[in-house]
Amino acid sequence: MKHRGSKLIVLILIWGLIAIAGFGAAIWQLWNWLMPGLFGLPVIGFWQAVGLMALSWLLFGGWRGAGGLRASRHRGERAEGRHLLTDEERAHLRASMARDCP
């Protein structure tokens, strides 16, 4: 069992490195193709592209998509709170949603 687990870890690390290299190369090529011509920005190297990718993942939520875990957690909190509303509050909420969200 331990041998299988270590193989899995090595495989995940290899695939992770391949993904980072692939995305880094894509960002590098796109940057060097578009940015100097459009905005007069300097050409960057591969490691700068990988750093730019890491920075964007940190700032914008990484692989989790728009909003990351926070959005799904708040969505669940809102959904859980709906059952606590009275019928009048529910009707008022529906009316305000219909008015505000056509």
DSSP 49-95: HHHHHHHHHHHHTGGG-TTHHHHHHHHHHHHHHHTTS-HHHHHHHHH
**Residue 73: predicted pLDDT:** 55
How many angstroms separate the CA atoms of 2 and 6, rounded? 6
Predicted local confidence at residue 101, as pLDDT: 81
One pLDDT digit (tens) per residue for the chain, 102 residues: 567 888 999 999 999 999 999 999 999 999 999 999 999 999 999 999 999 999 999 998 876 655 555 555 556 556 667 677 888 888 888 888 888 886
Q: Which amino acid is at 5?
A: G
**Greatest Cα-to-Cα distance within the chain, rounded to the nearest angstrom:** 61
Query: Which residues fall within 8 angstroms of residue 31, CB to CB, at 6 or more apart?
Result: 41, 43, 44, 49, 52
